[in-house]
Every structure is written in C-alpha cells, then in structure tokens.
Chains A and B, each alone.
Chain A
Amino acid sequence: MTALHLKLLREMTRLWAQVLAIALVMAAGVATLIIGVGTYQSLDQTRQVYYRANRFADVFATVTQAPRAVLQSVAEIDGVLSVDGRIAKVAVADIEGVTEPASVLLVSLSKDGGQALNRLHLRSGRLPEPGGVIEAVVSEVFAEANDFRIGFQFKVVMNGALRQIRIVGIGLSPEYVYAVAPGEIMPNEGRFGVVWVPEAVLAAAYDLDGAFNAVSLRVLPGASEMDVIANLDRVLAPFGGQGAYGRPQQTSHAYLDSELMQLRSMSSVLPPVFLLVAAFLVNMTLTRLIALEREQIGLLKAIGYSAWSIGWHYIEFVLVIAVFGVAIGITFGTWAGGGLTNLYARFYSFPILIFSRDPMLYLLAGGITVASAVLGAIRAVRKAAQLAPAVAMQPPAPPAYRSVLPGWFSSVIQVRKTWIMVSRHLLHWPWRTAGGVLGLSLSVAVLVGSIWSIGGVEHMIDYTFNKTERQDATIGFAGTKPASAAATVARLPGVLAVEPFRALAVEIGRGHVTRRVAIVGRPADGALTRLLDSSLAPVKIPESGLVMTRALADILRVGRGDVVDIRLLEGRRHNRLVHVSAIVEGYLGLGVFMELGAVQALALEGNRISGVNITVDTLMQDDLFAALKQTPSLGQISMQTIALKQFRATMAQNLFVMIGVLIGLAGVIAFGVVYNFSRISLSEQGREMASLRVLGFTRTEVSVLLLAEIAMLTLLAQPLGWALGILIALGMVEGFSSEIFSMPFVVGPEVFAYSSLVVMTAALLSGLLVRRRVDRLDLIAVLKTRE
C-alpha cells in the first residue's frame, strides 16, 4: 500500500459518517434503478415466456355462432399462423356458503384436451373428462378466493338450466392473468372466475354443436395485424362477428401492460434525482476536503508528486465512495426488487417466474453512479491538481465577505449578528447554498410526487363511487330484456329504487383511431347514476348525441360538437355518425353515454334494456341475493361495496408499497444533504464558533449558527420542492394513465404539508446529530491556532 493509499484510508475512516451519507444517496439511486427496471424486466420476461409457452393469441374475436368450417376460412387469411375456435359463455354461478351470486366464464376444452392457442396451464388436478357429472378446471385466483379444492362442487346456470359442476383441476391461462367480469372495471377475485369444461358440455347446453362463438389466432411474424383483423372481421361478419381486436384491447393484457408501464415510468424519474444529489454532495465534500488539505497538497508537490497523482488520489476518494454506494444499492435493490417481483408475480399468478439479472442493468447502474460521482468531483480535483506548491503551503487568503444590504438597513432594522453571519455565510458560497436548496427540494419533490397519488386515488374513489355511480348494485341481464324487466327487479325483496340502462357494444372511432366500448344509455333524469364535468358540476345527458369521458375524447381527438363513427357490434351492425354533445370526467375505463331512448333508437330496437342499477335495503340484502339465485335467468349482480373493496386492495398492493419505499428514500436524500452541508459548515465555521464560545456565547447560541443555516436552507427548499413535486406528479399522471385507468391530478395542501414535514424532520434529525459536535469544540485550540 502506497503512502497516498494509507492517507486515503485514514481520510475515509475520519470522514466515515459523511462518506456513508453520500454513499447512501448513491445507493438509493442505484436501488431505485434496479428495483424499477429490474422488476419491470423480470415481469416483462416472465410474461413473454408465459405467453410463448402457452401460445397466447395475437387477435381475438367473438361471434354469435359460427360453424366450425368457418375456422378453415379464417386459417386461410393471409398472415394467419394458427387458429383456435371455441365456445365461451358467461353464466351465473351459485356457490354454497356465498350469499352473493357469482358469475363465471365457461370456456370449452376440445375433446383431446389440447388447445391450439391460449393453453391452459394446470396447477393441480387433471383435465376434465366427458361423463355423467360435469367436470371442470377452475381458475386459480377464483379457486383460492372461494377456498375451492379439487373434488368441490358448485352450481352454474347454463342457458337457463342449473347444472352441478365438479372441480377436477385448478389452472391458469395467459388470457386471464386478470379476469374481469363483463361490465366491471376491476377484477373481482371471488365473484368472477374462469371455468374450463369439455366442449361437448357447452355445445349441448347452448345448442352449439359443431359451432363456436369465440376465435383467437396468431399472426405470422412480419404480417400486418391490422390487415388480419380487417379480413377476420369480413369473414366473421355473416356470423354476428363483434369486431376483432388485438392484444392491446384484450382486457387481461391491457391491465398487465398498464401496470408494467407504471413501474417503468417510476424508474425513469427517480434515479437521476438521486444521482444529481449525490454528485452535488461529492462536489461539496471534496471541495472542503481539498481546502483543508491545501498545505498537504503543497507539501506533496514540493516533494515531487505530480499534479496527476494528486488529482488521481482525490478521484480515488470519490471512487471508493461510489463503490460503497453501488454495492449497497445493488445489494438492497436486488433484494427489494426480488421481493417486489415476487409480490407482483403472486398477484398475477404467473405459473413461472423469471428473475431478470441483466448484467447490462447492473453495469449501467454502476457506471452512471461512478460517472456522476466523478463528474461531481472534477472541479474540485482540478483545483487541487493546479495548486502551485508554494501557494498551496500558504494559508488561503481570508474569505472576503461583503454586505448584501445597504448600510442604512442595519441602522433601521436591528438584526441579530448571528443571523447576519448565517446569511452572509450562505451567500458567500452561493453555488453550494443553491445546491443544498436544490438537493432538499428534490427530496420534497419526490415526496410530493408520490404522496399526492393517495389523495388522487381517494378523489377517484369518491368521484366514482360516491358522486357518479351512486347505486348500491348493478344487475346485468344475460342479453337484453324488455323494459318491463326493471319492474320485475323492483319487486324483488330489498330493492328500494331501480334505474334501467342499456349497454350497447360498439366500435367508436374517428379516422383510423377506433375503440371497442359500450355506449351506456341512461334515463336523462337518472338519480342513481350521473355524470359530472371537471368542476364536479352535474352534466345532464342531452336528448341526442354522445357524452364522452375525457380519456376517450383525448384518444379519439374529438371535442364537443365533433362527429364520430359508431359501428354497432350487435344487432344489425350498422354504422352511424353521432355528434359529441359533452365531455365529462371519468377515471376508470373509457366511458360513452347517451340518453336511454337515444341508444334504443340507435340500436334500432324497441324499449329494451341490458340491466338495472338499484339501491338496496342492506338489512334485506341476503333476501335479495337468495331471490336472485332463485331466478338465475335474470342475470348477475355486482355490488359497489365489493367493487370498491377490490379497487382499494389493488391500489394498496401496487401503489402504496411504492410510496412507502419513496418516503424512505426521500428521507435518505434530506438526511444526506443536511448532514454533509452542516458538517462542512461546522468545519468552516468551527473556529468562529469556538471563538464565540470563548467570548461567552452559550452552546445554544452558537448552535443557532448551525441550525439557522439548516433552517434557512430547508425553508428555501420547500416552495421549490413543491413546484418540482407538482412536475413529478404531472409526469406520473401522464405515465400512469392508461385506457383502463387514469389518475385525477388533485393535490391538496396536506400533500405539501406531509412532504415538508418529512423533510424537515429528516433535516432536523441530521442537524441535531451535527449539533452535538458543537459541544465538543476545542475552546483552547482556537486561541493558539491559525485556521
């Protein structure tokens, strides 16, 4: 070990606390990068492998009914690799011990059990066999939520007939990673599941012998998916084709995509913040260290060390810190990333889990950390290398301060001299002060940018469940029924109010942009459900024209008064041009609304409805459920309270875990910045502070010098941090919004208050830690020494 290395080692030991504080900020940057990108990569690769292994289709379509021979025509479409036709039907289920009716998606399994596409992955048990009792494989999430085991039985209403089903297997499918019941927004684990049964069973129950009602296909690599979809629509049109769509509009895939996108947007904002702060801390600490070591540098040069070897000595100092930071960051990031990946994988119930340990990611994380640290050091190092030996061995010229305020000011306003010292010291090092303020404000910003989402989600919940969809439950009919069905529901026990609706499946579009949505027709004077604009003012549904949520309007790039193409996906499948009458808010899904009569007219049908929204007397809720089970032909019920519970659970899982981590990381920044800043301030002013103690200042009075500096820095950082936080929040709104879910940008004053409180607490703690050193100032040494 060379003498310089020994010096480095001792320097490190002496400054261990500052070194650790900087290393932790670096570690936070490395960790967020590895957690964010690593988890994203792991989940993305897991999904890819899962999709490939189970042959997840590229294009999906449903028809009313088509003979199997049509599949041959589909297979002959240019660009089609393989085709799978099957029967898929939603049915009401009656599970013993569960009062609320559930619904299931029945999916056919061909005779040999093998599926060309969207293959079932058996977790346990076996595939169903034809025979007396209907055997089935049920989706794992549904089975777990209802505590199903192999051998359990439950009832399903197939085409009006109640049938007993026995569970022989539990499985997964890439098609239903997220299983969302038709008409619902979020997965409802216990109340909706996928049930795979032999094709013969479904064909017999639904009169679909030799026929299918759902088709999926894979597209040849390089072939145009858009052309395949157009051709498929043409082939299926005579059979009641409801419009083919690709993966982006496949519910499960779209959900997964939106979650992965959120994860990725998170990991692009944070690491640069940490690395910027780390570079600043390196610069600040090294500048001070070199100022203290001027004489040593001069001596080293005088005895023959080159400028290069001295520069390299200080670079090594920075490299050692960076290596510490990267090591801590990689260790923590890999551990936490693994945990997070596991959490997500369990949530999605992937059959396999691939932990991506992309060496490039680690290399990148390490590389940019080291680079940012060296970049932060370069100015200070250059200064050290350029010091002439003779100059270096002289003490530096005393710092030249200047008055900022005109002379008359101090005679008019009496300011304590200690406060003048504090403000002049801060102004004497304007860049360092600015860096400290920026560092702290970034910590505030990270907090504002993450905490706000709690309020955003609450606003969304309040908006959706309390202000707009105010019904207690929705009963969705199987198909449509005459309007008199509403009266039938009204007579059920516990039903207090009934409001009919008609959901019409359409493809809505303008130019090339189209989306498959349901136009929901509601009574114009509806009391249970209503629409609100961005200022929460109710919007009455006009007699004609569409009311559209902002999310959809943005996708289609339309505004009030514009005309959109509507292609019906049911009934006569005709096209219409309809104008947009109003834009409303709406955060879940893409919503389009019309007056009930207008939808019925658009559908060219009489007074038919798809279901009813109801309010329920909670005391009689069980009676209502029992009555619904008695009349399964009526349809399925979904409860708002359960939907809300599910929504909150999903949010808690995905968002709040991340926020918890971010609060910790923001604390690390605040602590690191304040600790280093005040240690350096103490090092610069320690002599003055000791002199003041000799002059009779108390410890508290002297500590004010240090704490007031931190206080000023922290206070200055708040407004800037709030502003930067708003930018981060806006970025998150952008990064998080998908067609499934968009975040309302609502930032209440409590967000700023909490964020500031966390940062101020971290600053205070680290300030107090440094303040203890004021007590240990050597009063005698200052009498005898020059700085």
Chain B
Amino acid sequence: MPNVGNGGYLLRAEKLTKTYSAGPTTIIALDAVDFVASAGEFIVILGPSGSGKSTFLNLVGGLDTATSGAAWFRDQQITSLGDAALTRYRRNSVGFVFQFYNLVPSLTALENVRLVTEIAKTPMPAEEALDLVDLTDRMDHFPAQLSGGEQQRVAIARAIAKRPDLLLCDEPTGALDSRTGIVVLEALTKVNSELGTTTLVITHNAAIRTIAHRVVSFADGRIASIEANSNRQAASTVRW
C-alpha cells in the first residue's frame, strides 16, 4: 500500500470549480466541489449528463485545468501543475479507461499494453496485465479482431499495467451490452482488490452502485450526495 500523505487521502479536492464562457454567458460545469478518496477505495460516480462528473474526472486526472479551487494527489497539488508536470502525473500515477476503449488499431492487444509499459517507471509485465483481465489467449489479436468487451478489457489491462495509484474510468460499460459490461466490471473490481488501485468509475448506470465502497452522486455541477455502501456486492450480481 503506497504511503499516503495529504491527511491520509490519496486524492483530495477543495472547492474545485470549472467554468466555461459561451459568448456572453458563463457556464458553471463544476461548482466548488469538495471530495476525498482513500487509497484502495472503489468509488462509483453517478449523475445525469451535464452534472459535472466528467469535468471532475478530467480535472483530477490532469487533463484539464481548474478555474478555481484546488486538488491534491497525495502531497502534490495537481491544480497548480504545468503541462509537462501534468503529463508526468498521468504517466506515472493515473490509469485511464475510456468509454470507446481508444485502443491503437494498428497494435495487437499485447502491443497496446506494452505501449504503456515501455514508458512506465515500475510496470508489471504486459502479459500479466492481460492475464489479470483474462485475455491471455487473445493477446496477439488486433482491436478489430476483438469484441467490444474484450477491447475494453485490453484498455483496462493497458491502464493498470503501469501499476497506477489511481484508475479513472469514464463510462467503461457505456458502449457495451449488459453481459459484456459485467465482465468488464469484474475485471475492474478484481484489479481493485488484487492491486489495491484506487478506482473512480463514472457512469449514469445506477445499477453499478452496488459494487462500490462509496457512491458519489453529481447534479448541476455539485456533489448531491455521498453514500457509503456497507453491503458491497460482487460485480457478477449486477443486472441492468
């Protein structure tokens, strides 16, 4: 378990705000959000479109800069970092899983994972990452030869192969049918429990809430509620 400073939290946000100006009007995408996540936590973030959950993920993932407020990863204030330092942060500490997998079509499953392990500090072998998502037998296939669920599992393997402290998943099951979606969720929970990777999963599929330690609901750019899930279920039990 990594040494966690910052008041014991791996991730902390304080009055995190993001506004966009669209012509004469200003849109508040994220409105002074306070948030903490402990090491090893599995957090599901729920909310309708436009509720600010993706904006939040982009800010804590180092993809976007906040208008005001601050966010810390351990002791490091990520909201004050420049482009190069943010790239380093994403490279060393964060794993991303996208809704549309975003695999490189010209690389096989194994090569897609190696793409990341080549530049990571302490990666696990790419084969091991694929084994973790049960794709050992498909690792020499190109994305076009894999099903959607398989592609998403490759994406998870790619995200966790660098042994990130933080795994950010934006609608990981959004493009999948429920059966394959569940397989993907199983992979995520497995990674969380076996590697202790702090995982934030954005979804507007409320059924997924049962697999989380905590469920955070966004509405209108704010956190509407945070509930701890004392009765955590296995991913295989999720139905939608």
Contact = CB atoms under 8 A, between A and B. Distances in A.
Interface of A: 397-403, 407, 410, 416-418, 420-421, 424-425, 428, 687-688, 691-699, 701, 779-780, 782-786
A285 to B, nearest CB: 22
Given A424-B106, A784-B54, A407 B140 contact: yes
B142 A400 contact: yes
9 contacts: A407-B140, A420-B107, A688-B105, A694-B96, A696-B89, A696-B92, A697-B87, A779-B64, A782-B102
A688 B63 CA distance: 15
A398 B98 CA distance: 17
B153 interface: no
A410 B88 CA distance: 28
A783 to B, nearest CB: 5
Interface string B99-143: 110101111100100111011000000000000000000001011
A716 B119 CA distance: 29
A780 B87 contact: no
A695 B90 contact: yes
A398 to B, nearest CB: 4
Contacts of A425: 106
Interface of B: 54, 58, 61, 63-64, 83-84, 87-92, 94, 96, 98-100, 102, 104-108, 111, 114-116, 118-119, 140, 142-145, 158-159, 162, 170, 175
B142 A688 contact: no
A696 B86 CA distance: 8
Given A695-B116, A782-B102, A403 B144 contact: no
A559 to B, nearest CB: 60
A410 B115 CA distance: 13
Contacts of A401: 105-107, 142, 144
B104 A421 contact: yes
B26 to A, nearest CB: 19
Given A417-B118, A691-B98, A694-B90, A403 B108 contact: yes
A688 B104 contact: yes
B58, B64, B91, B107 pick with most chain A CB within 10 angstroms: B107
Contacts of A697: 87, 91, 119
A419 to B, nearest CB: 11
Contact of B64 (A416, A418, A688, A780): A780
A407 B141 CA distance: 12
B87 A417 contact: no
B114 A417 contact: yes
B119 A691 contact: no
Given A418-B115, A692-B104, A783-B63, 19 more contacts: A399-B105, A403-B108, A407-B140, A410-B111, A420-B111, A421-B106, A691-B104, A692-B115, A694-B61, A694-B90, A694-B102, A696-B87, A696-B88, A696-B94, A697-B87, A697-B119, A782-B98, A783-B102, A783-B170
A24 B218 CA distance: 53
Contacts of A418: 115
B42 to A, nearest CB: 20
B81 to A, nearest CB: 13
A346 to B, nearest CB: 59
Contacts of A786: 100, 175
A428 B98 contact: no
A780 B102 CA distance: 12
A141 B215 CA distance: 96
Contacts of B142: 400-402
A701 B119 contact: yes
A417 B115 contact: yes
B104 A696 contact: no
B118 A416 contact: yes
A762 B64 CA distance: 35
Contacts of A784: 54, 99, 170
A247 B208 CA distance: 96
A454 B61 CA distance: 60
A418 B175 CA distance: 27
Nearest to A691: B102
Contacts of A417: 107, 111, 114-115, 118
B96 A695 contact: yes
Contacts of A780: 54, 58, 63-64
B167 to A, nearest CB: 12
Given A407-B140, A424-B106, A783 B98 contact: yes
Contacts of B115: 417-418, 692, 695
Contacts of B64: 779-780
Nearest to B106: A424
A687 B143 CA distance: 15
B64, B104, B111, B118 pick with most chain A CB within 10 angstroms: B104
A767 B112 CA distance: 26
Contacts of B92: 696
The 3 closest A-B pairs by CB, nearest first: A696-B91, A424-B106, A691-B102
Contacts of B89: 696
A417 B140 CA distance: 14
A397 B105 CA distance: 11
Contacts of A407: 140
Contacts of A421: 104, 106-107
Nearest to B174: A784
A188 B111 CA distance: 72
A428 B170 CA distance: 30
Contacts of B63: 694, 779-780, 783
Contacts of B100: 785-786
A425 B100 CA distance: 20
A399 B106 CA distance: 8
Contacts of B96: 694-695, 783
A363 to B, nearest CB: 46
A236 to B, nearest CB: 82
A51 B83 CA distance: 74
A783 B202 CA distance: 12
B106 A420 contact: yes
B106 A428 contact: yes
A695 B63 CA distance: 10
Contacts of B99: 783-784
Nearest to A787: B100
